[in-house]
Structure 1
Amino acid sequence: KGHAAVDPAVIPIGSILFVEGYGYCIADDIGRSVKGNIIDVGVDTIEQAYNWGSKQVKVYLVR
């Protein structure tokens, strides 16, 4: 937890983000299917991944 894959054309690598319903994370990865206004947040277990699912949330660029 605390890491996110982003599209570096939208969110610079190394940025700190606040994701509603998730918390703070650092944009430190690039995902193959992460394009445009999509991010992929890291979780600790497969159960958390299924519970999080695919959803629309607000993401704030902190720094």
Structure 2
Amino acid sequence: MSLIWSSLAALTAVWHHYRPLVNSWQLFANTGEGFDLLATGKGHQVTETAPDLFMRFIASLESL
């Protein structure tokens, strides 16, 4: 359980602290056979490419 929490804690740090520092970013999920692009953006700007999966990602961050 601590490994999952550590992963979520790391994702939270990247999402809230490091994402605004980069020129552009892409968020992928590897839940299937390949990688699914969930969202892209620049800083705080977000363009969702898979809204349902993206909202599940955001909900997982808020559950901490």
More strand by share: 1
Q: Tell me the TM-score range normalised by the shorter chain.
A: under 0.3
TM-score (norm 2): 0.28
TM-score (norm 1): 0.28
Max Rg structure: 2
More helix by share: 2
